[in-house]
Each structure stands twice: as C-alpha cells, then as structure tokens.
Chains A and B, each alone.
Chain A
Amino acid sequence: MTPKGSKNIGKNRIVTLFIGLFGLFILFAILDLLLGSVKIPFIHFIDFILGNDIKDPVARQILVNFRLPKTIAAVLAGSALAVSGLQMQTIFRNPLAGPYVLGISSGASLGVALVVLGLSAFSIPIWVSQLSIATAALIGSMLVLLLILAVSVRIKDILTILIMGMMFGSAASAVVSILQYFSNESVLRSFVIWTMGSLGSVTGIQIWFFSLLTFLGLSMAIILARPLNVIFLGENYARNLGLNVGLVRFLVFLSTSLLAGATTAFCGPIGFIGIAVPHVVKMLFKTSNHTILIPASVIAGAVVLLICDIISQLPGANYTLPINSIAALMGIPVVIYVVIKNKRFSGV
C-alpha cells in the first residue's frame, strides 16, 4: 500500500460517505413527511413535492401546516445539536461533552419554569402559549450564555469554565425544583411536557426565527472549523501556533449557545443526540478535520433526529411518543460504546 494510494482511498471514502449521508437525509425527510397518524395518499405527496396544488384540503393542511414545519424543526434541531456537541467535545477535549455542558438547557428550563410555574404560583394569570415558552427558554439560555462568556473572558482554565457551567446548571435546576414544588398540577403538567421535547410545536413565524438562529450558529461553526482543528491539539499547541485561544473559545461558546439555545427554546431539551452524533460521524469518517466533521455532523444530526421523529410518531397509531425519550434511547447505546472504547479518556 503506497501512502499516495491510501490518501486517495481516504478522499474517495469521504466523498462516498457524504453522498450516502445525503441520500439518507433525503430518504428520511421524505419518510418523515409521508408517515404519520393520518395516511396521506402518495399522489398528494408527489404533488406537494413538485409544488403543485394539492386537491385534498385536509391533506394540504396536514402536509403544509403540520408535517413540513415538524420536518424542518427536526432537521434544524438535529443539525444544531450535533454541531454544538462536536464543538464542546473539541473545546473541552472530552468525549462525553455535549451541547448542554455549559448549562444551557438548565437555563432554558429555568426560563420556562419561571413563566409556566412561577407566574401561576403567584396567581398571576398568564397566557401560556408556545411563543411565550420559547421566548422564556431563549432568554433563560441566553442568560446562562452571558454568564459563561463573562467567566470565559476572566478565567483561562477550561476545566474551571466547565465546572462553572455545571454549577450554573445545577443552581438553575434547584430553582426549578422549588418552583415545581409550589405549583399546581395543571401547570406542572405543561412544564413536564415541555421537558419531554416536541418537534411539532414549532409553527408559523417561529420556524423562521428558529431557522435564522440555527443558520447563524452553523455559519459561525463553519468559519470556526480551522481554528477548532488547531485547538483540538490542546492549548499549548494552539497558542504556540499564534491562535487567539480566548477569542476562538468565546466565539465557539456563542455559536453553541445559539444552536443549543434555539433548539431548547423551540423543541425542549433533547438529550444525547448532541453527544452521540459527533461520535458516529468521527467513527464513519475517521478524521479529526473539522472542515469535514462539521458539515458531516450537520447532515448526520438531521438524519438521526428525522429517524427519531419517525419512530416517535408511531406511524399508523394515534399516539406520539416524547421525542426526548426516543433520542435518548437511540443516543445512549452510542455513548456507552464510546465510554467502553475510550477507557483511557485522553484525546477526543
């Protein structure tokens, strides 16, 4: 085997994998639109894909106003979680880091809990809509982000930042528990349902807002790909090469917060996808080059969450399972595999 030959094989392999992943993406996006509790004739679906007018108003209603936003939400959330997880694993040089290590989901939970539970506990009548929940979650995660960014400017040690993130998260969870303790059954139920995650509640203007935030976060991630390759070697190497480690870290935290924050705001805290998908991508592509890993995570994250969504809506049945549980059941085996494989936790 000549080195040149093996290099070409490596390149061909990456191209093939990208084509394969994209094929899977198209396949599962179509299946996600097609499958559901209501059976939609395939002919209507073809019309829908081709952009023709759908004759059946019910089918049109379901496809355009329900399934399409849900599929888009799955794609956005999957990509966002996978990329932010990858970024955190590289920045913290820890294979078990994920989008929520900085306490972003706890911040979002606190925001939602304050709106849903807090206001009702003080008998303040509120109008609990999807939009107010999303706004509260976004504000909560942004507040945690600001804290983390403030800490990361002052504190140089990455482990300290990690522990700070965990502490902020725990503090937020503690407050959430207090709020839960004092709230009545019905609002508690709506809070618990939010924590289970849902892709189907992102509608109308929210989808545009979600897309915008995710697009911003993903663009930043792509710009940060090369600096991440340098940071991957560790701080000593990065600073030796003249990289402004503090600035890169700040921007990566910002990108992760936009991605994970927006996803949590619109779909609830969806766990494990963000930890598991980057590992699947690394195993498939066998590279640590982030200019490859980031686009690959975008597609793979979307594919995995589309699969989760298809499973959760139990095609043919009238029930929908919480997306969070399905994502966890799919992600946990991968995480267990990674833990067993990396008994030695060096590198990522």
Chain B
Amino acid sequence: MIQKPIIDITNLRIGFDTSAESELFYPLISASAFSGDFIAIIGRNGVGKSTFLRSVARLQPTISGDVLIKGQPYRGIERSEFSKILSFIPAEPIHAANMSVSEFVAIARYPYKGWFGTISNEDKNIIHHAIESVNLVNLSHRELDSLSDGERQRAMIAFALAQDSDIILMDEPTAFIDLPSKYEIVKLLKDLSLKGKTVVFSTHDLHTAIREVDTIWLMLDDGLTCGAPEDLALSNTLNRLFENTEVYLDFSTGTFLHKTASNWTIGLSADCDNHYIWTKRALERIGYEVVSNETSNNDQVKCYSKDNCLCWEISNGSSVVEFKNINQLCKYLKFHLP
C-alpha cells in the first residue's frame, strides 16, 4: 500500500509578485511530507525559508503552483478547518503582558470555538495535556513574560499542540535559546513526530538537524533538494550549502569545520587517543598540519603523564620546552612560529 503524502507541494513559486525582477524569485519548489515525518528546512540567511514556511501556512500569497494538504488544494480548505489541520509558530518569541501560560495555550482552541464559544471541560483537558507534554505544568500559571526563552518556546509548542493539528510548522524554534534547551526542543518535536504529527521546522543548527531529522529540505540558491541527511551528505549536496564559504563538512566526523590554511607541519605523539585528539585540535586551530612524530622533520610535540599530571613538551632537536597545559603550548607556538 502506498501512503499518500499529507503535504504535497508541486512547482510552488514563492515570493512577492511586486516587480518584474523575476530573477529574485526562488526556483520552483516541489516537496512532500508524510504523517509522522520530522523535517528540517535548512538554508542560508535570506534564501527564503520563512517565506516558504509562511506560504505553506497560507499566511502569504504564492505566485504559482499547488500545495495539497491531505490531498486537497490548500487554498480551497475553509480557513477555520485549515487551522485544525496545520499550525504555524512564528520565529519571534511571544510577548504578551499579563498573560499566563495556560491562558496563552487556551487561545489556541479558538478554531474549535469561534467568536462566542467558551472553553469546555474537554478543551481544558486538551490544554492541560498540551502543557504537560512540554513539561510546563509547574509554570502553567506563570506569566509568559517571566519565562526564559527556552520555556517560552516550549509554551509556543504547547500552543501548537492545543491547536491539535496534524501538521506543525515552526520557524526557527531554536533560534533564541541555549544549547541544552535546543536539544530539549528538538527532542520534543521529534517525540511529536513519533506520535504521528508531521513536524517541519527551519533551523540553522545543522549539527542537531543532521542527527535527529528524517528528512532535510535543503534550500540552495538553485532550488530545494529533499533527502535523508545522510544521503545529502554522501552525495556531497550538503557541502553545497557552504559554496564560497570557509566551512566544510568533515566526512569522518559529520561535523562542520572551518577551512584553515595549514602553513606548517608539526609532529605529535601522545600517550592516549583522547590526549592526541584534543592536542591535535589545538594545533590545527593555530594553523599547523599535524603529522606523526616519526615522519616530521620539524618541531615535535609530545604529550605524556608525569607524576599524575599531564605534560606537553616541544622539541626541535636542540632544545626542549615543557608546558603544563595546552594553552601555554599554543601561546609558545604562536610566538615562535617558524
């Protein structure tokens, strides 16, 4: 049995049709997502990630092309019905004075209630469950403005949950928050996708995206490419994100590195792998290419334990200097560049 996509985008042209400068337009976009998909939209600043998300969320006009949501042309779906299928959480952190988390989340029930509806017990359960899912129960009566950025972002996710839509679009949910909160938010979104929601979010956090998402919608200047993160890495497509930049994807570690010109080589040996790796990182950071001690004709760095302390020594045949930490070693090397 072939599953039907919940979002099916064909030849969508996004942007503002205000001028004749059609070269400003982003190339036609085609992509699709299924129930339970966890998708990250990745692209450089200004490429049109927000415009794309807002276009799919029907918050701004599109120029041409089709978006089918659950098999129906999305503009044809009645607005209040559409709100029950798809929710969109903007990038800007919510600011609203004198409003508690639960009051905020309760407003998400609006599509089910209309102008005159009051919150029923069933709504209260849904609101409570949404707040519970993002671990904000203890803060549910706190004012939104008193929350940290991470807590606020969780409240915004609870809002989307209370809206009870099959699809959740989020514009840069991890933009304003610290590293642990970032992982927490991404894990929360992933859990939602495992429960059957389709979660699409834009992000600049490639490391997390590559590790966690099912699919990346990669927005390059010449068009959108979809694929599993690993496929995009192996086909070298991910690296195209960094064309004309100083960054590249290190294949062996899956991390992004800065292209540094290594002007000099240096020998390195260490008593264990961890010491070797971190010393190597430091030497590369200050511009050395590291080779093994045996093959190097230049300076030699040796890392070893002495009297339960780590020591680094540097020798260039004639003299030997000893250091207590990597910081001293680097400072010395910087002043005594060959």
Residue numbers of A with Cβ under 8 A of B are 3, 6-7, 10, 223, 226-227, 229-230, 232-234, 236-237, 239-244, 282, 285-289, 346-348
Contact = CB atoms under 8 A, between A and B. Distances in A.
A287 B88 CA distance: 25
Task: From A232, A237, A286, A348, name the one whose CB has the most chain B CB atoms within 10 angstroms.
Answer: A237
A227 B83 contact: no
A240 B141 contact: no
Contact of B59 (A223, A232, A236, A346): A236
22 contacts: A3-B137, A3-B140, A6-B141, A10-B141, A223-B115, A226-B110, A226-B115, A230-B110, A233-B94, A240-B59, A240-B89, A241-B107, A241-B110, A242-B83, A243-B110, A244-B79, A282-B97, A287-B103, A288-B99, A288-B103, A289-B103, A347-B96
In the A-B complex, the 3 residue pairs with the closest CB atoms? A242-B83, A347-B95, A242-B80
Given A3-B137, A3-B140, A240-B59, A286 B98 contact: yes
Contact of A233 (B59, B96, B145): B96
Contacts of B140: 3
B111 A236 contact: no
Contact of B107 (A229, A346, A347): A229
A237 B97 contact: no
B104 A233 contact: yes
A26 to B, nearest CB: 27
B153 interface: no
Interface string B53-94: 000011100000000000000000001111100011110101
A241 B79 CA distance: 8
B175 to A, nearest CB: 15
A347 B59 CA distance: 21
Interface string B97-128: 11100011001101101011100000000000
Contacts of A285: 98
A304 to B, nearest CB: 20
Nearest to B57: A240
Given A240-B57, A240-B59, 18 more contacts: A3-B137, A230-B110, A232-B96, A233-B94, A233-B96, A233-B107, A234-B90, A234-B94, A236-B59, A240-B87, A240-B89, A242-B80, A243-B110, A286-B98, A287-B103, A347-B96, A347-B97, A348-B97
B163 interface: yes
Interface string B136-175: 0110110001000000000000010001000000000000
B116 A226 contact: yes
Nearest to B93: A346
Nearest to B113: A226
Nearest to B108: A241
Nearest to A10: B141
A240 B88 contact: yes
Contacts of A234: 90, 92, 94
Contacts of A241: 83, 107-108, 110-111, 163
A242 B79 contact: yes
Nearest to A248: B115
A236 B50 CA distance: 12
Contact of B111 (A229, A242, A282): A242
Contacts of A223: 115
B104 to A, nearest CB: 7
A320 B216 CA distance: 73
A188 to B, nearest CB: 43
Contacts of A286: 98
A347 B145 contact: yes
Given A3-B140, A242-B83, A288 B57 contact: no
A328 B88 CA distance: 43
Contacts of B96: 232-233, 288, 347-348
B180 to A, nearest CB: 25
Contact of A346 (B82, B87, B88, B95): B95
Contacts of A282: 97-98
A229 B117 CA distance: 13
A242 B115 contact: no
Given A226-B115, A226-B116, A242 B99 contact: no
A290 to B, nearest CB: 11
A346 B113 CA distance: 28
Contact of A239 (B59, B81, B97, B117): B59
A242 B81 CA distance: 8
Contacts of B99: 232, 287-288
A282 B58 CA distance: 33
Nearest to A230: B110
Nearest to B78: A242
Given A244-B79, A347-B95, A230 B107 contact: yes
A238 B193 CA distance: 25
Task: From B87, B97, B137, name the one whose CB has the most chain A CB atoms within 10 angstroms.
Answer: B97
A167 B80 CA distance: 36
Contacts of B82: 242
